């Protein structure tokens, strides 16, 4: 029988262990993603986030960090979470099928030089992959935040950050930590000239 204290200890220990693996194995990929975003903002472009379920929540969270502020007061940065307009989301889902929802919305909002951030713990969400396939056509950069099965998005991404796990809650915890690092680097790079 699992006690609450065991569940708590096991969950936090697993989260710490996975984040340590991320630090040890994904530093180059995270830095590459941070540089893509910082360069886009330095050029007057924006970040566009998308994902399903918990990944949609992460997309909205990270867009808000850029639009509002992260570590210090500064001018807002343009960012968008594609699912945030329920009317558009349901219209596209109804008229074009849910598999096309992010592709349709990304095509509507992306401009050359923007950076899209595709978030999927499985790495195989059909609607996320369908949008990622538009990268070259839209002349954007694409960062994929996935679990260990990120290979499906690999051909469509400039940078794949594949968290080495299949445990959805732990992957999501790692994704938001990585996302916070990306936001902080953008903020410091754009407004304080971090190197």
* pLDDT for 184 beyond 80: yes
Mean pLDDT to the nearest integer, 34-62? 97
**Boundaries of domain holding 139:** 4-192
CATH number, domain with residue 122 = 3.40.50.10490
Percent of the chain with pLDDT over 90: 95
Question: In terms of Cα–Cα distance, which of 158, 46, 53 is closest to 106?
Answer: 46
Give the pLDDT confidence of 147-168 residue by residue, as tens digits.
998 889 999 999 999 999 999 9
Strands (E) across 86-140 are located at 115-120
Q: What is the pLDDT of residue 194?
A: 59
* pLDDT for 195 beyond 70: no
Could you tell me the pLDDT band of residue 2, with boundaries at 50, 70 and 90? confident
* pLDDT for 1 beyond 70: no
Mean pLDDT to the nearest integer, 13-34? 98
Q: How many CB atoms lie within 10 A of CB 150?
A: 22
Query: CA 174 to CA 147: how far, in whole Å?
Result: 9
User: What is the value of pTM for the model shown?
Assistant: 0.95
Query: CA 176 to CA 169: how far, in whole Å?
Result: 11
Count of the separate structural domains present in the chain: 1
């Amino acid at each position: 029988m699992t006690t609450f204290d065991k569940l708590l200890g096991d969950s936090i220990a697993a989260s710490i262990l996975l984040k340590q693996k991320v630090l040890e194995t994904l530093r180059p990929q995270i830095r590459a993603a941070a540089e893509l975003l910082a360069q886009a903002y330095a050029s007057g472009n924006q970040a566009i986030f998308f994902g399903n379920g918990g990944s949609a929540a992460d997309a909205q969270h990270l867009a808000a960090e850029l639009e509002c502020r992260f570590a210090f007061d500064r001018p807002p940065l343009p960012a968008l979470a594609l699912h945030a307009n329920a009317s558009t989301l349901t219209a596209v889902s109804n008229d074009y099928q849910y598999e096309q929802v992010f592709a349709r919305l990304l095509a509507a909002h992306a401009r050359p030089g923007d950076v899209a951030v595709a978030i999927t713990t499985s790495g195989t969400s059909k609607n996320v992959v369908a949008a990622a396939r538009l990268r070259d056509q839209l002349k954007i950069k694409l960062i994929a935040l996935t679990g260990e099965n990120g290979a499906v998005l690999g051909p469509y991404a400039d940078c794949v950050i594949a968290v080495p796990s299949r445990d959805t809650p732990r992957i999501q915890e790692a994704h938001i930590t990585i996302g916070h690092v990306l936001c902080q680097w953008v903020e410091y790079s754009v407004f304080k000239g971090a190197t």
